[in-house]
Chains A and B, each alone.
Chain A
Amino acid sequence: MFMNAVLTGLTLGGVYALVAMGLTIQYGVSRTMNLAYGEFLIAAAFAAFVLFSTLGISPYLLALGIVPVSFLVSLFVYRVMAMPLVRRAKSAMSLEIDSLLLTFGLLFAMMGVMLLIFGSNYTNYSYMARPVRILDATVSANRLLSFAAALVVGALCWLLLMRTRTGAALRAVAVDPVGARLVGIDVQWAAGLAFAIGGAIAALGGVLISTYLTFTAEMGVVFTMKALIVVIMAGVGHVPGALISGLVLGFVESFVAAYLDPGLTVAVIYAVFLVVLLVRPSGIFGKVAR
């Protein structure tokens, strides 16, 4: 049972880490907290479900098409819907509130469309559901493959951020947008790009999760909340922190489900979150507020 919980925690945590990384990149650079983040994830899960059921193509291959679409939709959302708010914002604070309202509305719009098309039924499909034995424990092949995909994409994003000029520009904007303008970085371009990268990562997370979890049109907010908890727990904008906290969240979930009660996972996650915030208000890896 212990090894089973470890494997479940690791595979789930890996995908949580990836999803949280997307949100922290979005918010850290564009300063737009995307409350519709989970809707992008669920929309991608439905897209994978529909395309897999009709075409029979592997969801992992479908991701190659779904992820770029989500990238473009997110870019559109930022350039067309968020940019007018950026232009008229009088202060950083008013921009954050305006963009919260925008993405809050987007959440309901996207959820409404999905409810209209798919209803509120639980949806799942079976792909690579055969068990794989690892060290006395069994884990399904789709979980393992999803974990591997999350690792690879997480590593690629890390390299993009740390080793490329584009990544340096994104990090510069996250640290100091005015400073970034002063070295010739187009801050609005960087914010749009980060928002699009985050949307693409959410979609990948959605496709990966859809292979082994049951989902509904109303579940987006659950993933937004979990990603938000990971991001805040790690310290906003802290990418490695989000990866580690995401893994921890996966472990907490699987161990509580295995040893206590599956119904208690959310409660325990919030308890952990509360304790972290009490001890370190700016997150585990965040700078201590002065």
Chain B
Amino acid sequence: MLEVSGLSVRYGRHLALENAALKIGQGEIVVVLGANGAGKSTLIKAIAGLVAPDPGARVMLDGQALHRLPAYRIVDAGLALVPEGRHLFSTLTVAENLSLGAFLPRTRQKADESRDLVFGIFPKLEQRLTQVAGTMSGGEQQMVAIGRAIMTRPRVLLLDEPSLGLSPLLTAELFRALPSIARTGMSVLLVEQNTHQSLAISDRGYLIEKGVICGQGTASELLASETVQKAYLGS
């Protein structure tokens, strides 16, 4: 479904991501694990078109080349990103944030259906529709951000450290929602530092270190592997 290859990103002279490649199948949850500064965010931003990769990069979604499109066209092609910092429309209400998610003509007719889909995953949001997004708690804002991304009806949903800044309780609640998103047929690619909880709900995972993807496997393989134990699980 989503196939990435040859993805390199430079910030000035610093090579933040080198020749990254990964694959995600339909309805799959895939996690990219790595420490702070390993290039996780860069990887996900380059896929979504928010940072420009070096020439030679290929991002293919069901045979369509995304690497030549500007960010707003990538959304139309079916790839949505929930970025670090969420970038909600903080002075607008939850309802307005969600309806802006259905801005594109492709998604507008399905807006009601999409909204029901979001409420099915995050029932809390239905009672908060009139609240101004910026006044919500971090966990609730993350739900609005994911909800807004779902409103764009993506085939692949990218999440940049969704658990960042959330309490363990909220993180658990958020991660529980991801399999129900995947069951609707959407693929989920998330980058995380929270190894245990993210592997528990993922099908597969990649390891990234110093801008290089250095390992991959099924979630159970990674949980059992010695390198992961040492590097990420602290045992």
Query: A residues bordering B, Cβ < 8 Å?
Result: 165, 168-169, 171-172, 175-176, 178-187, 287
Q: Which of B70, B75, B91 contacts A182 (CB 8 A)?
A: B75
Cβ A182 vs Cβ B89 within 8 A: no
| Shortest Cβ distance from B86 into A: residue | A179
Task: Looking at the assembled complex, report how far the CB atom of A39 sits from the nearest CB atom of chain B, in whole angstroms.
Answer: 32
B100 engages A178 (CB within 8 Å): no
Whether A182 contacts B103 by the Cβ 8 Å rule is no
* A181-B72, A182-B80 known; A168+B100 contact, CB < 8 A: yes
User: Which chain A residues border B149 with CB–CB below 8 Å?
Assistant: 182
Contacts A181-B71, A182-B71: A165 and B90 contacting too (C-beta < 8 A)? no
Most chain B CB neighbours (cut-off 10 Å) among A171, A175, A180: A175
B104 at the binding interface (Cβ < 8 Å): yes
Q: Are B87 and A185 in contact (CB under 8 A)?
A: no
Smallest Cβ distance from A183 to chain B, in angstroms? Answer: 5
Partner of A178, one of B50, B75, B104: B50
Whether the pair B50, A176 counts as a contact (CB closer than 8 A) is no
Q: Is the CB of B87 within 8 A of A182?
A: yes
Q: Provide the B77-104 mask, 1 if CB < 8 A to any CB of A, else 0.
A: 0001111000111111000100111011
Contact with A along B175-213 (1 / 0, CB 8 A): 000000000000000000000000000000000000000
**Top 10 closest A-B pairs, CB basis?**
A179-B87, A184-B75, A184-B104, A175-B89, A178-B87, A181-B71, A186-B72, A183-B103, A184-B72, A176-B87
* A81 to B146 CA separation, bound complex (whole angstroms): 37
B interface size (C-beta, 8 A):
28
User: Which residues of chain A have C-beta atoms less than 8 A from B73's C-beta?
Assistant: 184
Contact of A176 with B103 at beta-carbon distance under 8 Å, contacts A181-B71, A182-B81, A187-B72 already known = no
CB-nearest residue of chain B to A175: B89
Question: How far is B72's CA from A103's CA once the two chains are assembled, in angstroms?
Answer: 28
Tell me which residues across on chain B come within 8 A of A178, comparing CB atoms. Answer: 50, 83, 87
Instruction: Assess whether A179 is in contact with B88, with CB atoms less than 8 Å apart.
Output: yes
12 contacts between A and B (CB under 8 A): A172-B103, A175-B89, A175-B91, A176-B89, A179-B88, A180-B100, A181-B71, A182-B81, A183-B148, A184-B72, A184-B76, A185-B100
Q: Which B125-177 residues have C-beta < 8 A from chain A?
A: 148-149, 151-152
Q: Which A residues are CB-close (under 8 A) to B80? A: 182
Nearest Cβ on chain A to B157's Cβ, whole angstroms:
11
* Closest-CB distance, B145 to chain A (whole angstroms): 9
Q: Which of B72, B73, B101, B104 has the most CB of A within 10 A?
A: B72
CA distance A178 to B81 in the complex (A): 11
- The complex places the Cα of A287 from the Cα of B91 at a distance, in Å, of 10
The residue from A169, A175, A287 contacting B103, defined by CB atoms under 8 A apart? A169
Whether B87 pairs with A184 at a CB distance below 8 angstroms is no
B91 to chain A, nearest CB (A): 6
A105 CA / B46 CA spacing, docked (Å): 36
Q: Name the residue of chain B whose CB is nearest to the CB of A173.
A: B89
Docked pose: A55 CA to B81 CA in angstroms: 57
Q: Which residue of B lies closest to A190 (CB)?
A: B72
Query: In the complex, which residues of chain B have a beta carbon less than 8 angstroms from the beta carbon of A181?
Result: 50, 71-72, 75
Q: Which of A175, A179, A180, A183 has the most CB of B within 10 A?
A: A183
A176 touches B72 (CB 8 A): no
Complex Cα distance, B92 from A180, in Å, reads: 13
Contacts of A180 in B (CB 8 A): 100
Complex CA distance for A171 and B81, rounded to whole angstroms:
20
Separation in Å of the A206 CB from the closest CB of chain B? 31
> Which residues of chain B are near A165, meaning CB under 8 Å?
103
- Asked whether A183 and B101 contact (CB < 8 A) given A172-B89, A175-B90, the answer is yes
B92 engages A175 (CB within 8 Å)? yes
Distance to closest chain B CB from A81 (angstroms): 21
CA distance A94 to B48 in the complex (A): 25
In the complex, what residues of A have CB within 8 A of residue B48's CB?
Answer: 182
Residues of B within 8 A of A175 (CB): 89-92
A176 adjacent to B148 (CB under 8 Å): no
Considering the complex, give the chain A residue whose CB is closest to the CB of B76: A184
Contact (Cβ within 8 A) A185 B103:
yes
Closest residue of chain A to B85 (Cβ to Cβ) is: A178
Please, which residues of chain A bring their CB within 8 A of the CB of B91?
A: 175, 287
Do the beta carbons of B103 and A168 come within 8 Å of each other?
Answer: yes
| Residues of chain B in range 100-116 having any CB-CB distance to chain A below 8 Å | 100-101, 103-104
